[in-house]
Amino acid sequence: MPAADWLEIFMRPDWGPDDLLIDLAGMEVDTLLSLDLVDADELVLDIFEEVTARHWWIGNRIIQVVQSSWDVMGPEAIFNGVDADKLSLAAWLDAMLVLLLRRMKDESAPMFVAQLELPPAGESIPEEEMAMSEGQFLSMGE
């Protein structure tokens, strides 16, 4: 599915698991009501992480930042050929993140990225994701 279809839901100010399960998955209301709410929330977060190719909080924060600055980022996307009707949601987020970072002062970018990646309370990053490879470390000096 193109990013535009996903964003139609994820850019709603009050979107919730039921929006995704009913609108995109075509789940019947009766089936949705029979799900445990915790299970539905976990299912939606798993789907969100799969289609964004990143942790749910990172994808959600990028969408929120882009949406809150849409008056600038919308035209920026058009000017740079970032078409939500043609890209996957993960690719659209990658492109929009690059456009956001390009608009920032160099000294602001590391803090912005750190804030995007900071897990919310109750979430943790697996230890293997936190480890930096020797190649990544050496490339920092380039």
Q: Is the dihedral of CA 100, 83, 42, 67 positive or negative?
A: positive
State the Cα–Cα distance between residues 140 and 45, nearest whole angstrom.
32
Which of 22, 95, 17, 83 minimizes the C-alpha distance to 52? Answer: 95
Q: What is the pLDDT of residues 75-114, one digit of tens each?
A: 999 999 999 999 999 999 999 999 999 999 999 999 999 9
26: left (phi over 0), alpha (psi -120 to 50) or beta: left
pLDDT of residue 132: 47
pLDDT band of residue 31 (cuts 50, 70, 90) is low
- State how far the alpha carbon of 32 is from the alpha carbons of 6, 36, 66, 110, 124, in Å: 19, 9, 30, 41, 28
- State how far the alpha carbon of 93 is from the alpha carbons of 77, 90, 108, in Å: 11, 5, 19
Percent of the residues in the chain that have a pLDDT greater than 70, as a whole number: 73
CA-only gyration radius of the chain, Å: 17
Q: What is the pLDDT of residues 3-19, one digit of tens each?
A: 999 998 889 888 776 67
pLDDT of residue 134: 52
Q: What is the mean pLDDT of residues 59-66?
A: 95
